[in-house]
Amino acid sequence: MDDIVWNEEEFPFKNGFVTLIGRPNTGKSTLLNALLGQKVAAVSPRPQTTQRRQLGILTLENAQIIFMDTPGIHNPHHKLGEYMNDVAKATLEQADVLIWMVDASVSPQEEDVLIAKFLKEINPLPAAILALNKIDLLSSDQIENRQTVYQELLPEAILVPLSATYGTGQQQLLAEIIDRLPPGPPLYSPDQVTDLYEREIAADLIREAALLHLRDEIPHAIAVRVDEYKERGEKGSYIAATLFVERESHKGIVIGQKGSMIKTIGSTAREQIEAMSGRKVFLELRVKIKKNWRNNPSVLRYLGFVENK
């Protein structure tokens, strides 16, 4: 990169790719946003908020860490779920360091055991860090117990207790990562924080808003496509997006009585997009039905989940 001058003798520097992996809703995207100091990944209390691989680029004085946030590994029930698992696993081939994030507030779940089994079969396994998240919800005795049971699943991993929400353990985590990165110059400009365009982040933030406001049986059957993203000078940006659902009944719930729910989703999404972009946003949402879209490869390609071959 022309705007970065790197001299190994004068300024030793490291860079590398770090895969964030774990079952759904363990806090991977929350951690990524916290480390970057700004929101680039969608976050919600619902599992499987992240559906694609996303880079988060953190440039420090002595290192550039390229995080790869991945969908939560889970037992898939449709082709979209299979795709999400494949994306998460494929990033390991590029990783210099692996962070396996677990939810320390609960005992290991079935999906944690499956992930541990999968990781043990990788040869060679990248340098592994076991991040015990949500320790702010535990007592000291509980933390010690969870450290023991999770460490047994992957004994070779370096264990780091942390709270992605409150920042506890994050500096230790960064130190462990940097210690394991290879030497080399930065690959991205220091002011770049992700590989996604604002248009793509906006789609994720709209889906995040839907996950926050809709009931349990609907969210994961929702996809978002940004149809227009136009700059209007001092007036800000105009964004038109479509929310795709699988059933007619879901469409009515997403719209809500007299349009109340779609307005609520739009208001929450608009605030997040404005915070991300730093300018005013006019957001227009519509809802369409794509029956069984999560099991339809052509629709998954149409929505950008699966690349055309």
3-state secondary structure labels for all residues of 195-211: CCCHHHHHHHHHHHHHH
Q: Are residues 46 and 141 in the same domain?
A: yes
In angstroms, the CA 71 to CA 82 distance is 11
Q: Are residues 209 and 131 in the same domain?
A: no
| Domain stops at, among 146, 180, 214 | 180
- Taken as a whole, the chain contains a residue count of 309
In angstroms, the CA 142 to CA 160 distance is 15
Q: Are residues 202 and 263 in the same domain?
A: yes
Q: Is 267 within the bounds of a domain? A: yes
**Which residue from 174, 212, 206 is spatially nearest to 58, judged by alpha carbons?**
174
Q: Are residues 150 and 202 in the same domain?
A: no
Q: Is 192 within the bounds of a domain? A: no
Q: Is 190 within the bounds of a domain? A: no
Compute and round to an integer the Cα radius of gyration of the chain.
20
Q: Are residues 127 and 205 in the same domain?
A: no
Looking at residue 266, which CATH number applies to its domain?
Answer: 3.30.300.20
Q: Are residues 33 and 160 in the same domain?
A: yes
In this predicted structure, what is the pLDDT of residue 295? 75
In angstroms, the CA 276 to CA 273 distance is 5
Give the range of the structural domain holding residue 173, as residue numbers without chain letter.
Answer: 14-180
- Tokens 């002595």, located at residue: 62
In angstroms, the CA 141 to CA 128 distance is 25
Q: Is 307 within the bounds of a domain? A: no
Q: Is 236 within the bounds of a domain? A: yes
* Sheet architecture: strand order including 97-103: 54-59, 63-69, 14-21, 97-103, 127-133, 158-161
Phi, psi dihedral angles at 64 (to 5 degrees): -120, 115
Q: Is 9 within the bounds of a domain? A: no
How many folded domains does the chain comprise? Answer: 2
In angstroms, the CA 121 to CA 125 distance is 8
Q: Are residues 209 and 172 in the same domain?
A: no
The CB density around residue 35, as the number of other CB atoms within 10 Å, is: 19
| Domain stops at, among 180, 209, 234 | 180
Q: Is 214 within the bounds of a domain? A: yes
As a dihedral over the C-alpha atoms of residue 153, residue 154, residue 159, residue 163, rounded to 10 degrees, the angle is: -50
| Domain stops at, among 126, 152, 180 | 180
In this predicted structure, what is the pLDDT of residue 258? 92
Weakly modelled stretches of the chain, pLDDT under 70 = 1-11, 39-53, 71-91, 195-196, 215-220, 299, 302-309
How, if at all, do strands 97-103 and 127-133 pair? parallel
Burial of 61 (0-12, 13-18, 19+ CB in 10 A): exposed
Task: Cite the beta strand spans of the chain per DSSP E.
Answer: 14-21, 54-59, 63-69, 97-103, 127-133, 158-161, 223-231, 237-245, 281-289
In angstroms, the CA 24 to CA 28 distance is 9
Q: What region, left, alpha or beta, does residue 69 occupy, with left being phi > 0 and alpha being psi -120 to 50 degrees?
A: beta
**Which residue from 68, 72, 35, 37 is spatially nearest to 54, judged by alpha carbons?**
68
Q: Are residues 116 and 212 in the same domain?
A: no
The CB density around residue 247, as the number of other CB atoms within 10 Å, is: 14
In this predicted structure, what is the pLDDT of residue 302? 66
Q: Are residues 83 and 48 in the same domain?
A: yes
Q: Are residues 76 and 139 in the same domain?
A: yes
Looking at residue 60, which CATH number applies to its domain?
Answer: 3.40.50.300
Q: Are residues 89 and 210 in the same domain?
A: no
In this predicted structure, what is the pLDDT of residue 97? 95
Q: Is 193 within the bounds of a domain? A: no
Q: Are residues 127 and 51 in the same domain?
A: yes
Amino acid at 285: L
As a dihedral over the C-alpha atoms of residue 133, residue 138, residue 144, residue 145, rounded to 10 degrees, the angle is: -100
